[in-house]
Amino acid sequence: MTMFFHRLFSALTLIAACALPTGAGAQFSLKEGAPASTTVVTEQVRAELLAWAPDGVQPGKPLWVGLQLAHIPEWHTYWKNSGDSGLPTLLEWTLPAGITAGEIAWPTPKKIPIGTLANYGYEGTVLLPVPLSVAPGFAASELEIKLKAAWLVCKKECIPQEGDFVLKIPARSSTGLSGSAFAAAFAASPRPLDGAGSRIAVDAQAIQVSLAGLPASLQGKTLDFFPETGSVIEPGAAWQQAWQGAVWTAQIPLSSQRTESPQQMPVVVASGDAAYRITAPVQGAWPAVAAPATMSPALEAALKANAAVGAAPSVSSGQPLGLLAALLGALLGGLILNLMPCVFPVLAIKVVSFTQEKNQATRLAGGLAYTAGVLLSFIALGAVLLGLRAAGEQLGWGFQLQSPAVVAALAALFTLIGLNLAGLFEFGSVLPSRVASLQASNPTANAFLTGVLATAIASPCTAPFMGASLGFALGLPAWQALAVFGAIGLGMALPYLAASAVPAVARALPRPGPWMDTFRRLMAFPMFATVAWLVWVLGQQSGIDGAGALLALLVLMALVLWSLTLRGRARLVLATFSIALAAAGLWAVGQNVTQAMDAPAIAGAPSERWQTWEPGRVEQLTAQGRSVFVDFTAAWCVTCQYNKKTTLANSTVLADMDAKKVALLRADWTRRDPAVTAALAQLGRNGVPVYVIYKPGSAPVVLSEILSVDDVRAELAKL
């Protein structure tokens, strides 16, 4: 049997899969440990850290820094009070001793209507300036400023983004290149007014605003009104305003979701480019805060990803990992990965090679080569994943099987292997003998490429202990993250390495004989089972036409291989005909394999019991007092499908779900979905399966990847 070339094909397939473009629309999230600079660019925003120090870094001299956000058209970020929805931009500074940062000098926002609601924010380009204070005695030659910023950028949908920035300012020379940007920000900021005689009176349904001391140039004009305290008024509601001489008055409805009862209210009023800030005392007693109301569909749409901007929720399954714990978890997860169903076909290849090799030294060399193949492949796959994420792609573990083209290529690869094992063809019969003979002289290369193949098919799976380690790894510096990926590969290769190094294993193997040919043909069936699974996965991504097209192309590939085994003139005629037929088939139906479905099916379509997960849906349900169980799944995840057909379909588990009135949501990751990726990242995970129970007022509980009936029922009993 000539195995070398299908090993080589597997390596080239993996390389091609990693190099495939992953499409537009992915969102950017720069995690801690990634390289920082003065600029971060996403698809919606260009964020830049600027500084203005006209007299250098000296005590008592003006020194300003600020984050400038340049939005593409129709997108916006938020003011300090975001209005009906949204979140303000957050800035966390890391400064040397002797330097302290003040508050953001917020420029005047604009009102951004969203149906019957309204937000307060910024479009176009805005600079958020922050003053820095220099203590006496500061003597460093250079001031290094570090900033971690988080912002929510919205159009109709909302996308949480963040970035790390570093800026160095010479202490003894002026820094004035950004002076015009800061001057524009200062001009756009509201001017403070004493506002003597101003007041805000409260009644049961509205606030009565009276502002005195405004410039005469504003009198008679219609003003925009922005309270700095959120959750007090209805930003989108209609309200009345009027001038009573030099006093501006307004009656504005109270918010039904009010959570604040301030005794003084800083407010901003604006007309055109003129804006003023007045702090007015509150008169009267605030009415009782209303009970929480059900979130409106419009507000839910605006809040899709808001929760992701803040700190990640604490997950009750454990505290954040350290590097040593992550490495240990990765090693254990790699060991357990050998027991996952997705790895069974590769185990078949390894068993065949084990039974063929009787020389202990050669077997040990093969074990080392296989280990090297697995180890380097995991590191390479991790490097590709980290590189694409750093470039702005929102990807997770198993990302390659989110591409229909990669799924189709793997289906063709395993069909090729299966047909070879079944005896339909030998590589020596379809390739020049000189090339085919490479297999006999390169057993070590065979073993290495088997390790590459094992990684290609095993990488979409997530075993116990792996999930937390993978999620933790993506927040580490590159070399530490790659060490975690390498630990997974070492764990997966360890049993085979140990077996190849122990002579007792060789003595336990049966003697070579005719049974080996039967065993080899038997091992073709795990390959064909894998092909059936991959075709089903493609059907979830590209529909029934895509799956049918792939099956037709695989049949044509088998016809071409069979024709190449013939002899004489029949080979020339039938091979030419079959190759032409395969080319025509590829031209006619090949595009169906990678087509996008109008309404993508998901792994385990939602039923009356299971509903489709959407951003904000969990928050809406928990706000109503309901507990929520979320199944993060994908069609290409065999473990996901096993758990879905067993534990999640168990009648006692479902009865407990019903008794506790638990809402069931299924988040599909079969195709790339940045919203699902972001939700997994918030849980400290980067692959599927992930099972989470959300309880109102409590941290989410993440269950094991290998889901058992007893574990689920035990967690449900705590609700």
- Provide the pLDDT for residue 434: 52
List all residues 6 or more positions away from 55 whose beta carbon is below 8 Å from its beta carbon: 61, 62, 174
Average pLDDT over residues 552-578: 85
- Asked if residue 466 and residue 355 are part of one domain, the reply reads yes
What gap in Å lies between CA 8 and CA 26, rounded to an integer?
A: 32
- Asked if residue 332 and residue 305 are part of one domain, the reply reads no
In a domain, 602, yes or no: no
- Provide the pLDDT for residue 267: 93
- Provide the pLDDT for residue 663: 92
**CATH code of the domain containing 672:** 3.40.30.10
Residue where one domain finishes, among candidates 169, 189, 209 = 189
Listed range (27-36, 255-264, 484-493, 608-617) with the worst mean pLDDT: 27-36
- Asked if residue 322 and residue 305 are part of one domain, the reply reads no
List pLDDT tens digits, range 669-705: 777 677 888 788 777 776 778 899 998 878 888 888 7
Number of domains comprising the chain: 4
Residue where one domain finishes, among candidates 565, 593, 621 = 593
Average pLDDT over residues 234-240: 85
In a domain, 470, yes or no: yes
- Provide the pLDDT for residue 147: 93
Q: Which residue has the higher pLDDT, 11 or 285?
A: 285
In a domain, 34, yes or no: no
- Asked if residue 319 and residue 301 are part of one domain, the reply reads no
- Asked if residue 260 and residue 183 are part of one domain, the reply reads no
**CATH code of the domain containing 48:** 2.60.40.1250
In a domain, 32, yes or no: no
Pairing relationship of beta strands 110-114 and 117-122 according to DSSP bridges? antiparallel
- Provide the pLDDT for residue 227: 93
- Provide the pLDDT for residue 400: 56
Structural tokens at position 458: 């095993």
In a domain, 599, yes or no: no
**What's the mean per-residue pLDDT of the chain?**
75
- List the strands of the sheet with 117-122, edge to edge: 77-83, 117-122, 110-114
Instruction: Give the three-class secondary structure for 234.
Output: coil
- Provide the pLDDT for residue 578: 86
Separation in Å, CA 395 to CA 167, 359, 390, 633, 709: 29, 44, 10, 15, 31
Average pLDDT over residues 281-296: 64
- Provide the pLDDT for residue 592: 79
**Residue 136, preceding peptide bond in cis (omega within 30° of 0):** no
Separation in Å, CA 76 to CA 233, 240, 271, 401, 682: 21, 27, 20, 34, 23
- Asked if residue 212 and residue 140 are part of one domain, the reply reads no
List pLDDT tens digits, range 179-224: 788 888 888 899 999 878 899 998 888 899 999 989 988 888 999 9
**CATH code of the domain containing 295:** 2.60.40
| In contact, 271 and 223? CB cutoff 8 Å | yes
- Provide the pLDDT for residue 513: 62
**Domain housing 266:** 199-309
**N-terminal to C-terminal alpha carbon distance within the chain:** 58
- Asked if residue 123 and residue 19 are part of one domain, the reply reads no
Q: Which residue has the higher pLDDT, 230 or 523?
A: 230
Structural tokens at position 680: 């997994």
Q: Which residue has the higher pLDDT, 674 or 233?
A: 233
List pLDDT tens digits, range 134-146: 888 887 778 889 9
List pLDDT tens digits, range 583-605: 888 888 778 777 755 444 444 44
In a domain, 152, yes or no: yes
Average pLDDT over residues 280-307: 56
- Asked if residue 673 and residue 540 are part of one domain, the reply reads no
- Asked if residue 443 and residue 539 are part of one domain, the reply reads yes
- Asked if residue 490 and residue 391 are part of one domain, the reply reads yes
Structural tokens at position 597: 């479905």
Find residue 254's DSSP bridge partners.
233
Minimal CA–CA distance to 165: which of 51, 70, 66, 48?
48
List pLDDT tens digits, range 348-393: 566 666 656 666 677 778 778 888 888 888 788 777 766 765 554 5
- Asked if residue 452 and residue 385 are part of one domain, the reply reads yes
- Provide the pLDDT for residue 61: 81
- Provide the pLDDT for residue 78: 93
Average pLDDT over residues 238-245: 89
What is the pLDDT confidence band of residue 161, given thresholds at 50, 70 and 90? confident
What is the pLDDT confidence band of residue 526, given thresholds at 50, 70 and 90? confident
pTM of structure: 0.42
Rounded percentage of the chain residues whose pLDDT exceeds 90: 17
Listed range (30-44, 107-121, 235-249, 636-650) with the worst mean pLDDT: 30-44
Residue where one domain finishes, among candidates 290, 309, 328 = 309
